[in-house]
Amino acid sequence: MKTHYIKRIAVAFLLGCTLLPGASCNKEYINPSAGSVPSVETNPDALMTLCAGLQRRYSIGRQSPFYCGTVGGGYSVYALYTINIGNTSEKEVETGKGAITLNNSFVTQMWTQCLLLRTEAETVLSHLDVATDPGDRMGLKAYASIFYAMGMGMLVQYYEQIPLVNGVNATFSPRAEALKKVIQVLESADTDLATTAISAKFLGKVPPGIDAKNTIKALLARFYNMQSMITGTYNTADGTKAITYAQAASQTVKSEFRFSTATPNPVGDLAATRNVYGAIDSSLGLRNGLAPVPANSDPRVEFYISQTTATTYPLKAFALNNVASYPVYLPGEMMLIIAENYARQGQFPNAIVALNAVRTKKAVDDIYGVGANQSPYAGAVTQPAILTDIYKQRRLEMFISGQELEDSRRFGRPGPNQPGEERNRNFYPYPLSERDNNPSTPQDPAI
């Protein structure tokens, strides 16, 4: 990745593109030789504006990581289908395998925007001392850490290797190394948040909705959960830390991306047109005996999609329209992380307790209204059987969360071209823009 000017371009873009309605984002006004970066790096208010811009880059627009990751995850496991095949990028990702071209917008924009997000977050984290007020400094550190982790964490889920630093012809590193760095950043912020609160001034500078303290704990649970399987350390400290952080993330405090007509929810915006994508069927795409029978026996299906017709299943809930809020994490995700790690450690009674907390949960008992209302687990008390049900519950509880592709690999579900395949690729190819400019780019994964 050639990044002679990536830092200045990223910062200049964000300073001109705050979350205020009517802000202009014409890249023609960017001057890489201008002195915008030093002014940001020496001004705490400018760094706060940069933090607000992190959320915009991550969550606003059809080219945002939020859109590409959320919709791409659904397509990758056959949970979504393209209504109008004129939406070429969406159709390629739905088909998967060799149909995904190297200039596909999902492949290109997810890669580019996540790396820019990382650069911007690192700009903030490298200049925390500019803020003399401890609460202001804590806000900068917490929010930059969150979006650093979300951008890098998304790359980990969709790409086989990732460059960990910006630079000309940057080398690539394994996913485990990227996760290690993400966890270090989050744990540093978590430690500081235990003793220092974010200032009211900072909170007034960034969009409302994200609870930093609980989000950082939830992200640590999520990424320790991924790391424990990638590195095979679920029986040691990593698996235990995943459980600990999942238990610490609040079940009763919302942390969410909030949208408006000026800054719309891109997933809900396009879902509401009923011309781009919808759920593929009434079982949320679950295969190989995992679908609820009948589909309406699990209220989460009706929570996430409309079943008013027999052929189309429009999205609801967090993708209902362009102003619907989208959770950063769900309480059910935390319980299923606990269940998964106990199951992998062979602690089956504890795993079943956590699993049943999701299976038997009623909508009125969930802060987002996600309720399964199922009977307690009654399957075999074996690791394969319990993990299979945990995977099923993740798919039903966390529909189009953006984690589907990682989940499918982690739980060993049938891959592309295998009997009963449940995903259409293992990893995305690297974008053409990277390959053309960086000879260190690895070979694309076969599928």
The Cα 162–Cα 242 span in angstroms is 23
Judged on CB neighbours under 10 Å (0-12, 13-18, 19+), 154 is buried
CATH of domain 210-400: 1.25.40.390
22: exposed, middle or buried (Cβ count in 10 Å: 0-12, 13-18, 19+): exposed
Q: HEC string of the chain?
A: CCCCCHHHHHHHHHHHCCCCCCCCCCHHHCCCCCCHHHHHHCCHHHHHHHHHHHHHHHHCCCCCHHHHHHHHHHHHCCCEEECCCCCHHHHHHHHCHHHCCCCCHHHHHHHHHHHHHHHHHHHHHCCHHHCCCHHHHHHHHHHHHHHHHHHHHHHHHHCCEEECCCCCCCCEEEHHHHHHHHHHHHHHHHHHHCCCCCCHHHHCCCCCCCCHHHHHHHHHHHHHHHHHHHCCCCCCHHHHHHHHHHHHCCCCCCCEECCCCCCCCHHHHHHHHCCCEEECCCCCCCCCCCCCCCHHHCHHHHHHECCCCCCCECECHHHCCCCCCEECCCHHHHHHHHHHHHHHCCCHHHHHHHHHHHHCCCHHHCCCCCCCCCCCCCCCCCHHHHHHHHHHHHHHHCCCCCCHHHHHHHCCCCCCCCCCCCCCCCCCCCCHHHHHHCCCCCCCCCC
Matching fold, domains 1-208 and 210-400:
yes
What are the residue ranges in the chain where pLDDT is below 50? 3-9, 12-35
Domain ranges within the chain, ordered by starting residue = 1-208, 210-400
Q: Please, which residues have CB within 8 angstroms of residue 4's CB and are 6 or more apart in sequence?
A: 32, 168
pTM: 0.92
Check residue 309 and give its pLDDT. Answer: 62
Q: Which CATH architecture has domain 1-208?
A: Alpha Horseshoe (1.25)
**Beta partners for residue 156, in sequence order:** none
Q: In sequence order, what are the residues at sequence separation of 6 or more whose Cβ sits closer than 8 angstroms to the Cβ of residue 63? A: 105, 109, 113
What is the sign of the dihedral through the CA atoms of 370, 372, 376 and 377? negative
